Structure 1
Amino acid sequence: MTNSNAMRFNIAFILWCALFLLLGGAGLAGLSAVGRLPAPPVTATNCIDEKFKFMHDTEIRNPGLIAVGSSVTWRNLDFSVFAEHYGGDVEPLNAAPCFLYVNQTAFYTDFLLDNMPSVKSVMSVFSMRDFSACAASPTEFFRPEDAKGYVFDKDPAWHLYLKNFRPVSFARDVVDLPGMRSGKDASASMVMDPYGSGPFTLPKPEIREDFQLDATCLDHLSAMSEDLSRRGIDFIVVLLPQMPAWRDAYDPGGVRDAEFRREVSRRLDPTRTVLIDAQQGLHLSNDQFTDHAHLQWRSVPLLMRYLISQLDKSELSLSHAGADQAGGGPDHAL
């Protein structure tokens, strides 16, 4: 009798599990059909998962240059300007998601480079915000094994919805993501251009919060720079100009900002690094920013043209052929 009860329990358990999987799969398929299915939950943050989804879907499979970092990188690069200048010599991909600090950017970059042998150059756009909380932020913010098959092998990712299911955030994303993906929710837009960049425009600039420089982040930058040099990959570091209103509110005279820029320059391995401090060449007004970390999208081409002018002065070659022939990278910083 006991064995019979156990058998019935096991059969019922298997049937309920099968029913749960069947209903779950049908629910995910239904949400996908109406455009409300969130990206597979590789992380707990929708804008990071949306970038993994873009990487899964994009046809740019062998980039020569990848951009990595937080939304400071994601929203402040327009690679169509690169295409106008360099033509087909550069195949860039903006792989930057959002919210990352430098330690997390270094971890993410290692993951990408381990799976992208075509990459010759890495570009990051930084503001002080990227260097403000490394000690308090987990470096390994996702499991590489969860992302590898989905991003690089284009494997289906239905299992991730079950493995990493978070009901509250999932339900919220079902409601909110359509407006974010379409750009109707301008304050949290998830729109991405063909290169993976995230155009961002706000009607009125916002000063937002203050933050302090975390020396731990500088240590992670040093390690990242040294690792890229060991890999034979050029590192293009771009420092965003300071928003005047943020400076006036939190950093009168720009003392902390100047220290931040000095420390970044000091921590970079000079062997294969080009440092472009856009503060030196661009003098932007408050209305050209959305906030301290992002430019209005209409102002991004100004930054891009300045980057191109400085890259053209350097010894770095962004073309696939040029990078292969050059052997060594640039050994100076701008």
Structure 2
Amino acid sequence: MRSYILSAAAGMVLMAGALAAAFTAAAAIWPDKMPPPAISGSIATDEKLKYLRDRGREPVDVLAIGSSITWKHLDGAPFDGRVGNFVNGGTAYLQVHEIRTFTRFYLDLYPRISQVVMLSALPDYGTCAGEGRIMDLEDAASYVRGRMPEAWFYMRYFAPLRYVLQARRRSERLKPYDAFGYWLDRHGTTPSMLPTEVGYDLRYDEIALDPACLEALDGLNRDLTARGVTFTLVMTPVAPRYSDLHPATTRATERIESFARSRGIRLIDFFGDPSFEDADFWDAFHMQWPAARRLSREVADTLL
């Protein structure tokens, strides 16, 4: 019996070693095909963690944080040469309480951060139930800092079917400016464009505002204030056609802005800005890259 247990244990160790070697070899031979370890439940977040790992230990002074509203819209170029190191830390699908969690992760990872800016819109405030846990933050930090070999994370987050499916399409999803891809520029932004011939689709129905998200926004502001970090909330434009179809959007956004002001949060308001037209958007809330670059310049000028 004892020899059977030892043989089984040895077999498991050998199998784990073989798998780790296979992952290491695959990442070395096909670096553009091999997806990052599945540390979070979101491909976009895993790609952001890989970007941070590849970036190394270069410090961050100005951090952009948020959902895809930040991830796809804030160009780092207007910040170059005007502040220290800028990183767009936004990623997809986050709600405000999850953004608060992710911000704590960044602050612990980059203690030199002095300013945080969050581009935001109503989809960030739809539901904020629970604690906002998006991944194991210690594992994520260990991965970003390179404290363990990458193969260790592939083994810990063993998801072979997910890796195979991602690998088959990864080169396609890393094409620059793909509206639904994950390519990241040097600042961590994913610029996006949707060809006009594809057609214009709002993609969003009516969104209700969850009051718990306002409390999460207040908590994020208190976290940053306690650390001596300047926080700026930017409410982004919305496609006029969407606002016309869903007037409750205006009331909900005004409620967010009023709440932010009541809590002393610095606010830059582009909601309802007439200089942004339907043609500047590829859905109700996401802008074509030229419009996003224009927005970024205005945000940078106001901040700096």
Is the partner of 2:271 in helix, strand or coil? helix
**Are 1:151 and 2:144 an aligned pair?**
yes
* 1:17 corresponding residue in structure 2: 12
* 1:193 corresponding residue in structure 2: 185
**1:199-210, aligned counterparts within 5 Å?**
199-203=191-195, 204-210=199-205
Amino acid at match of 1:119: I
**Are 1:285 and 2:277 an aligned pair?**
yes
* 1:8 corresponding residue in structure 2: 3
CA displacement at 1:97 relative to structure 2 = 1.6
CA displacement at 1:280 relative to structure 2 = 5.9
**Are 1:142 and 2:135 an aligned pair?**
yes
CA displacement at 1:282 relative to structure 2 = 5.3
Report if aligned partners of 2:24, 2:151 keep a CA contact under 8 Å in 1.
no
CA distance in 2, matches of 1:93, 1:201: 21
CA distance in 1, matches of 2:114, 2:210: 29
**1:1-334, aligned counterparts within 5 Å?**
6-32=1-27, 33-34=29-30, 35-59=32-56, 61-83=58-80, 87=81, 89-135=83-129, 138-153=131-146, 155-183=148-176, 186-203=178-195, 204-210=199-205, 211-251=207-247, 254-266=250-262, 268=263, 270=264, 273-279=265-271, 281=273, 283-312=275-304
Structure 1 regions of 5+ residues with no counterpart? 1-5, 313-334
Is the partner of 2:66 in helix, strand or coil? coil
CA displacement at 1:15 relative to structure 2 = 3.2
Amino acid at match of 1:133: T
Deviations 1:179-199 (A, max 9, x none): 112348x24211111110111
CA displacement at 1:230 relative to structure 2 = 1.1
Counting matched residue pairs gives: 298
The structure that has the greater radius of gyration is 1
Amino acid at match of 2:227: R
Report if aligned partners of 2:240, 2:272 keep a CA contact under 8 Å in 1.
no
Counting aligned pairs with the same residue, the percent is 24
Amino acid at match of 1:165: F
Cα distance, 1:195–1:10 mapped onto 2, change above 3 Å: same
Report if aligned partners of 1:51, 1:97 keep a CA contact under 8 Å in 2.
yes
Is the partner of 1:89 in helix, strand or coil? coil
* 1:322 corresponding residue in structure 2: none
Cα distance, 1:160–1:232 mapped onto 2, change above 3 Å: same
CA displacement at 1:98 relative to structure 2 = 1.3
Report if aligned partners of 2:175, 2:183 keep a CA contact under 8 Å in 1.
yes
* 1:315 corresponding residue in structure 2: none
Q: Where is the helix percentage greater, Structure 1 or Structure 2? A: 1
Deviations 1:214-234 (A, max 9, x none): 110000000110111111100
CA displacement at 1:59 relative to structure 2 = 4.7
TM-score, normalised with respect to structure 1: 0.82
CA displacement at 1:274 relative to structure 2 = 2.5
CA displacement at 1:60 relative to structure 2 = 6.5
Report if aligned partners of 1:200, 1:297 keep a CA contact under 8 Å in 2.
yes
Amino acid at match of 1:306: E
The runs of at least 4 aligned residues of structure 1 exceeding 2 Å deviation read: 152-157, 166-171, 248-266, 279-283, 308-312
Report if aligned partners of 1:281, 1:306 keep a CA contact under 8 Å in 2.
no
Structure 2 regions of 5+ residues with no counterpart? none
Q: What is the Cα-based RMSD across aligned positions, in Å?
A: 2.1
CA distance in 1, matches of 2:47, 2:247: 34
